[in-house]
């Protein structure tokens, strides 16, 4: 067994063989074709002998198929046993435990936004796990997709040129508008950090931290935001909230869309 510390510094233990098996299954789930042991071992950074033994075990359990002719492995129907109960589930029900963890750990309201094809953020869930002073927002609230903290992250995910980003910015209506240069700089920073801030711009006296959940193609599909009264958290605490939201978004992206954390783009790619 190996020891690992999570982002909050809490010691945890995990079983390396199980971690390797999950890594192999994830690789096979997204590989364009069945693959041999050596290829799978290289791609997953699992020792070849260990990889072979895990694949044999997974095959015996019906989770992977082995092609005798090509000596390759691919996913088998057995994985549906685990997936079927979730296929009809509401994504909100799957995401809620993750954002509840953030709310509990950071003492803040956490909102879940759906990013629509019509360039809107729609509030579909929000949780407050602890008894704290907080503001609230009505489910169904709609906002432009480029506004606020989540909006800065949406803009970062699009990697827009300056003219297009400026056009989007000019369409937005804020309580206390940032200048375009400030907004563009914050979009660039969101691309680096994986989270962004809106400190009194969208709503006066309200601090918002945001991150986005991206699908396998890199498109932003959901937004996560922590919303609180201005000044209740220090700048360092706000960054801690941001990191928690980013980690939650990456976890949701991986579990819903099979997407690992994206490689950070050059800041110049955004503007």
Phi-psi region of 91 (alpha: psi -120 to 50; beta: other; left: phi over 0): alpha
Reading the chain (271 residues) residue by residue, the pLDDT tens digits are 344 444 444 546 789 999 999 999 999 999 999 999 999 999 999 999 999 999 999 999 999 999 999 999 999 988 887 887 777 778 898 899 999 999 999 999 999 999 998 999 999 999 998 888 888 889 999 999 999 999 999 999 999 999 999 999 999 999 999 999 999 999 999 999 999 999 999 999 999 999 999 988 899 999 999 999 999 999 999 999 999 999 999 999 988 887 766 533 333 343 3
Q: Say whether both 36 and 154 belong to one domain.
A: no
Q: Say whether both 102 and 73 belong to one domain.
A: no
- Report which of 95, 92, 127 is spatially closest to residue 111, judged by C-alpha positions: 127
- Report which of 187, 118, 266, 205 is spatially closest to residue 197, judged by C-alpha positions: 187
114 — phi, psi (to 5°)? -95, 130
pLDDT at residue number 83: 80
The two structure tokens encoding residue 42: 């290289």
Name the 3-class secondary structure at 13. Answer: strand
CATH number of 254's domain:
3.30.450.40
Q: Say whether both 22 and 144 belong to one domain.
A: no
pLDDT at residue number 270: 38
Q: Say whether both 134 and 193 belong to one domain.
A: yes
Q: Say whether both 71 and 104 belong to one domain.
A: no
Tally of domains in the chain: 2
Q: Say whether both 8 and 46 belong to one domain.
A: yes
Look up the domain containing 37 and give its range: 2-83
The two structure tokens encoding residue 255: 């579990």
Q: Say whether both 108 and 180 belong to one domain.
A: yes
CATH number of 28's domain:
1.10.10.10
Q: Say whether both 145 and 190 belong to one domain.
A: yes
Task: Tell which of 83, 98, 127 closes a domain.
Answer: 83
Q: Say whether both 53 and 106 belong to one domain.
A: no
Q: Say whether both 131 and 79 belong to one domain.
A: no
Q: Say whether both 139 and 71 belong to one domain.
A: no
The two structure tokens encoding residue 187: 């979009």
Task: Tell which of 50, 65, 83 closes a domain.
Answer: 83
Task: Tell which of 48, 83, 118 closes a domain.
Answer: 83
pLDDT at residue number 261: 60
Q: Say whether both 115 and 185 belong to one domain.
A: yes
């Amino acid at each position: 067994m190996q020891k690992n510390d999570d982002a909050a510094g809490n010691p945890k233990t995990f079983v390396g063989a199980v971690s390797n098996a999950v890594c192999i299954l994830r690789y096979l789930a997204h590989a364009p074709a069945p693959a041999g042991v050596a290829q799978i071992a290289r791609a997953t950074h699992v020792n070849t002998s260990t990889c072979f033994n895990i694949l044999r075990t997974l095959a015996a359990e019906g989770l992977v198929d082995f092609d005798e002719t090509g000596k390759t492995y691919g996913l088998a129907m057995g994985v549906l046993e685990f997936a079927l109960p979730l296929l009809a589930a509401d994504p909100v029900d799957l995401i809620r435990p993750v954002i509840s963890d953030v709310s509990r750990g950071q003492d803040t309201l956490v909102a879940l936004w759906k990013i629509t094809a019509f360039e809107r953020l729609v509030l579909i869930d929000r949780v407050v796990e602890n008894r704290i002073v907080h503001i609230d927002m009505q489910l169904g609230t709609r906002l432009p997709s480029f506004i606020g903290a989540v909006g800065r992250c949406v803009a970062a995910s699009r990697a827009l040129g300056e003219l297009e980003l400026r056009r989007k910015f000019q369409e937005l209506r804020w309580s206390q508008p940032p200048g375009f240069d400030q907004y563009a700089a914050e979009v660039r920073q969101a691309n680096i950090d994986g989270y962004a801030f809106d400190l009194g711009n969208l709503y006066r006296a309200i601090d918002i931290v945001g991150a986005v959940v991206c699908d396998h193609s890199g498109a932003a599909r959901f937004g996560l935001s922590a919303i609180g009264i201005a000044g209740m958290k220090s700048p360092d605490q706000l960054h801690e909230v941001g990191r928690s939201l980013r980690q939650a978004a990456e976890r949701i992206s991986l579990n819903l869309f099979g997407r690992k954390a994206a490689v950070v783009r050059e800041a110049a790619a955004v503007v």
